[in-house]
Structure 1
Amino acid sequence: MSSEAREWVWEHSSSRGTARLVLLSIADRVADGNCVAWASLTSLVERTNASRTAVRDALTALDKSGELNVLDHLEGPQRSTVYRLPRAAAWLAKVATAQREDPEAYVEPPTDSDPVPELDEEAEKDLRRYGIWPKKSTESGTSRRNPTGTGSGPSRRNPPPRRAGIRHQHGTESDPQNRREPKLNRKGSSSGAAVTSAADWRVDPASHTWARQQGHLDRLGEDGLRAADTKWRAHRAGHAPRPTAAWAADWRSWIAREHAPARPNLYALPGGGPAPTGSMTRAEAHTAALLAALNEPTPTGTE
Structure 2
Amino acid sequence: MSRDTREWAWEHSVSRGNARLVLLSIADRVPDEQCVAWASITSLMKRTNASRNAVRSALTALADSGELKVLGNLEGPQHSSVYRLPRAAAWLAKVTAARQADPDAYVEPPTKSDPVPELDEERLRKHGIWPKTGSESGPRRQNLTGSESDPSRQNLTPPRVGIRPPTGSEPDPQNRSEPKVNRRYSSSAATTLTSATDWEIDDESRSWAQEQGHLTRLGEQGLQGADAKWRQHRAAWNPRTTAAWAADWRTWIAREHNPTPGRPNLYALPGGTPAAKAGMTRAEAHTAALLAALDEPTGTE
Q: With CA pairs under 8 Å and 6+ residues apart, which has the higher RCO, 1 or 2?
A: 1
Query: TM (normalized to structure 1)?
Result: 0.45
Greater C-alpha radius of gyration: 2
Query: TM (normalized to structure 2)?
Result: 0.46
